[in-house]
Amino acid sequence: MTRISILDLDRCQPKKCNYVCIEYCPGVRMDEDTIIIDEKTKKPKISEDLCSGCGICTNRCPFQAVSIINLPEALEEPIHRYGQNMFELFGLPSIREGVVIGMLGPNGIGKSTVIRILSGELRPNLGNYEDEVDWEDVIKFFKGSALQIYFKKLSEGELKVVHKPQMVGLLPKFVKGTVENLLDKVNERNVLEEIQESLELESILKRNIKNLSGGELQRVAIAAAVLREADFYYFDEPTSWLDVRQRLNVVRVIRKVAEEDNSVLVIEHDLAALDAISDYVHILYGEPGGYGVISQQRGVRAGINTYINGFLREENVRFRKQPIVFEVRPPAAAIETGVLAEYSNLKKSYKEFNLEIEEGKVHHDEIITAFGPNGIGKTTYAKILAGVTKSDSGMINKKVKIAYKPQYLNSDYLGTVQELLITSIPSYGSKIFKTEIMKPFSLDKLLDKEVQDLSGGELQRLSVAITLSQEAEIYLFDELTAFLDVEQRLKAARTIKRVVESHNASAIIIDHDIIFIDYISDRAMVFYGEPGVEGHASAPTDLRSAMNRFLSNVGITFRRDKETKRPRVNKIGSYLDREQKEKGEYYYLES
């Protein structure tokens, strides 16, 4: 079975190419209407029944707007399709009371579509995008499954569903007033005080919603969701913008909702958080922007390990060429690559916040990660190194050229991605740029998009790529993994490693994703103190020592999975948790 998809209609510009896809299509010469012009859009539509999948149009299209996708033969009819030559979704996740179901897969594979369907925001059309499908047809389609009862009750208004959306940054546009007023209005379960304490919201209750940071908006959105009375709770990326402690607070809150015999579905890219929050997982695979398939349900450990290995044994599907490999590394020996840069003890004071940074050295060919709570001074540290902010005392003894990607992304550029790359990167168009930067970050699919129209993940990939394209001795990234899916995070990690090694440079990365930090770090820094009041930063040290120090402050322990060696969170109070805390080993034991 072959399907043709114009993945990005915005990139299709037939007036500039004079319909080159039609000109070279063999169907035209055989008097077959393989490609026709849509009367509304004036752009090509490809007949998937007549198309032979020869691939000529994909090679001839100057804008790379056309792709040919071969679907697995075993797939049945789609659950939903957005239109001809557009994305389609196969399957839906299982629904179970009293458990948390996780969904794991790349961006653009249909996870948000799943939640929109299950929450009633989008009625599945069963592949019939031309006509409106009745609820009776949907219910009949799922006959004999739990989803039949689910959609019957949903269509009759007998189910109450709560959906915590992905883009919490839009919350101030729809909700006005203070945090306290919002939470009072939605407190249907009468657990306001408990949720406020669990999510550490007391300090921001009197603040206006429009003045909240991304992490604060995330916690408020989660609180507003769990305070409402519902049968099903759907959370789309609930840990974005949150530090490790806050992520674990969210895990506890959402798990408690499930323990009260509610059904919970979570989309999450942080594997450690997904592991801690879920009982079962569904893996989504396919072609981002083309089609998505939901695999059968697996236990959370088996599911995440299957995702890491890249092979669905029961479905006989390989969705990644190579497995993701985690290395169990002993404490790093003394680095002999030479000092690239160094700084003395640094201090920076604001009206209500003070930061102290221990003296440190940065070596050639190493990657240093920095982690700690939000509001503890990590971004201030990055700005001091980058020269954006001056320290009150201390100095950088050996100054070097730094390429800096800030925490908050700028999408104010007026123009396309390609225009921005041409003006920002001298090496743009070179073979090295195409292979080392453009391919790993999939920038070729973004070239004709306006920068202002990019999603959070697309803008993040673009920003990281531009930073790595600069001639620098230190590459400095603040919140690198925000909005990126698991695959994109690991591709970014591998690309950073290659650039650092090839330039004999170094990288400093501020982030909250424990698995990403474990995967990329040579050494690490710990930030600690009282958020919003005072912060302290340790000197770079080996990852194991830094993690032990950090996790002891947070009060949690990690173990290593025996099969994949990935870090896993121990359940607080469990035998392993107590054993590791007694030994002072918060991070490295295997399970």
Q: Are 276 and 72 in contact (CB under 8 A)?
A: no
pLDDT on residue 345: 95
| Amino acid identity for residue 185 in this structure | K
Per the model's pLDDT, the better-predicted residue between 7 and 255 turns out to be 255
Q: What is the CATH number of domain 80-317?
A: 3.40.50.300
Hey, what are 277's tokens?
């929050």
Quote the CA–CA distance of 167 and 456 in Å, as a whole number: 9
- Residue owning tokens 């695999």: 295
- First vs last C-alpha separation in the chain: 43
| Amino acid identity for residue 11 in this structure | R
Mean pLDDT of 452-468: 90
Instruction: Choose among 160, 130, 155: nearest CA to 142.
Output: 155
User: Which of 303-317, 447-461, 497-511 shows the lowest per-residue confidence on average (mean pLDDT)?
Assistant: 447-461
Q: Are 491 and 288 in contact (CB under 8 A)?
A: no
pLDDT exceeds cutoff 80 at 545: yes
Instruction: Choose among 284, 281, 285, 241: nearest CA to 265.
Output: 281
Quote the CA–CA distance of 212 and 229 in Å, as a whole number: 25
Hey, what are 346's tokens?
């640094």
Mean pLDDT of 558-573: 89
Mean pLDDT of 540-565: 90
3-state secondary structure of 80: strand
Give the other-Cβ count within 10 Å of 420's Cβ.
19
- Binned at pLDDT 50, 70 and 90, residue 590 comes out as low
Q: Which secondary-structure segment (H or E) carries 343?
A: strand 339-343
User: Which of 164-173, 271-280, 423-432 shows the lowest per-residue confidence on average (mean pLDDT)?
Assistant: 164-173
For the chain, percent of residues with pLDDT exceeding 70: 96
Quote the CA–CA distance of 529 and 545 in Å, as a whole number: 18
- Binned at pLDDT 50, 70 and 90, residue 336 comes out as low
Q: What is the DSSP letter of 203?
A: G
Per the model's pLDDT, the better-predicted residue between 567 and 72 turns out to be 567
- The dihedrals phi and psi of 579, each to the nearest 5 degrees, come to -65, -45
pLDDT on residue 6: 57
CA atoms within 13 A on the CB side of 232: 24
| Amino acid identity for residue 349 in this structure | S
Helices 543-554 & 244-259 angle (0-180, nearest 10): 50
- Binned at pLDDT 50, 70 and 90, residue 483 comes out as confident
Residues 376-421: tens digit of each pLDDT: 999 999 999 999 999 999 988 877 899 999 987 777 788 889 999 9
pLDDT exceeds cutoff 80 at 233: yes
Burial of 180 (0-12, 13-18, 19+ CB in 10 A): middle
- Residue owning tokens 């604060």: 216
Residue-averaged pLDDT of the chain: 88
Q: Are 513 and 481 in contact (CB under 8 A)?
A: yes
User: In this structure, is the dihedral angle defined by the CA atoms of residues 446, 452, 453 and 454, taken in order, positive or negative?
Assistant: positive
Instruction: Please check whether the two domains, 80-317 and 342-554, share a CATH topology.
Output: yes
pLDDT exceeds cutoff 90 at 185: yes
Quote the CA–CA distance of 539 and 524 in Å, as a whole number: 8
Helices 214-227 & 244-259 angle (0-180, nearest 10): 10
- Binned at pLDDT 50, 70 and 90, residue 59 comes out as confident
User: Which of 2-16, 89-103, 237-251 shows the lowest per-residue confidence on average (mean pLDDT)?
Assistant: 2-16
Q: Are 295 and 283 in contact (CB under 8 A)?
A: yes
Hey, what are 86's tokens?
């557009």
Mean pLDDT of 455-472: 91
Residues 78-124: tens digit of each pLDDT: 899 988 878 889 999 988 888 999 999 998 899 889 989 998 889 99
Q: Are 515 and 567 in contact (CB under 8 A)?
A: yes
Residues 313-329: tens digit of each pLDDT: 888 888 888 888 887 76
pLDDT on residue 334: 44
The CATH H-level superfamily of 342-554 is P-loop containing nucleotide triphosphate hydrolases (3.40.50.300)
Quote the CA–CA distance of 559 and 161 in Å, as a whole number: 35
Hey, what are 2's tokens?
């072959």
Domain ranges of the chain: 2-70, 80-317, 342-554
Question: Which range scores top for mean pLDDT: 29-43, 264-278, 333-347, 396-410?
Answer: 264-278
Q: Are 451 and 416 in contact (CB under 8 A)?
A: yes
- Binned at pLDDT 50, 70 and 90, residue 4 comes out as low
- Residue owning tokens 């034991």: 589
For the chain, percent of residues with pLDDT exceeding 90: 51
Q: Domain 2-70 falls in which CATH fold?
A: Alpha-Beta Plaits (3.30.70)
pLDDT exceeds cutoff 90 at 64: no
Contacts of 45 (CB under 8 A, 6+ apart): 35, 36, 37, 38, 84, 85
Q: What is the DSSP string of 416-477?
A: BHHHHHHHH-TTTTSHHHIIIIITTTTGGGTTTSBGGG--HHHHHHHHHHHHHTS--SEEEE
Instruction: Choose among 527, 530, 583: nearest CA to 557.
Output: 583
3-state secondary structure of 51: coil
